[in-house]
Amino acid sequence: MITFDDYAAKVRDLVDGTAQKKGYNDTGAEGKNQLMDFVETHCPGHGLGEIIYKAVRYGRKLNDEDLLKIGAWAFLLYRRHFDMSPVSRTEVGRIDHGPSGDAG
């Protein structure tokens, strides 16, 4: 049986090792992630889109790697949430949901 610690270790490996190998981030899970900052500043909502994409793909293919990637993206967004000032959270991170501004 897999434990939360097992899952967290695999997510950490994605955020640390895989991201570094691909050149996304060379400071590890605890360091500053300049690529994430750039992507979320210039493409607000990209991280949420990645999570949705991975969830839909998991539903089709049942590849457990997608669940790990969802966890990695969720961590990056969670950390970024606390790294931003309250003003930045409402101005930079807002996603346009169309003319009404209502997501549903």
How high is the pLDDT of residue 50?
95
Which DSSP symbol is given to 27? S
Whether the pLDDT of residue 96 is over 70: the answer is: no
Distance CA 92, CA 17 (A): 28
Q: How far apart are CA 42 and CA 70, in angstroms?
A: 21
- CA–CA separation, 72 and 2 (whole Å): 17
Q: pLDDT digits over 33-73, tens only?
A: 777 878 888 888 999 999 999 999 999 999 999 999 999 99
Encode pLDDT of 11-39 as tens digits. Answer: 999 888 877 787 777 777 777 777 787 88
Structure tokens belonging to residue 24: 């996304």
Amino acid at 3: T
Give the pLDDT of residue 100.
58
Backbone angles phi, psi at 96, to 5 degrees: -75, 120
Two structure tokens written together for 50: 């990645």
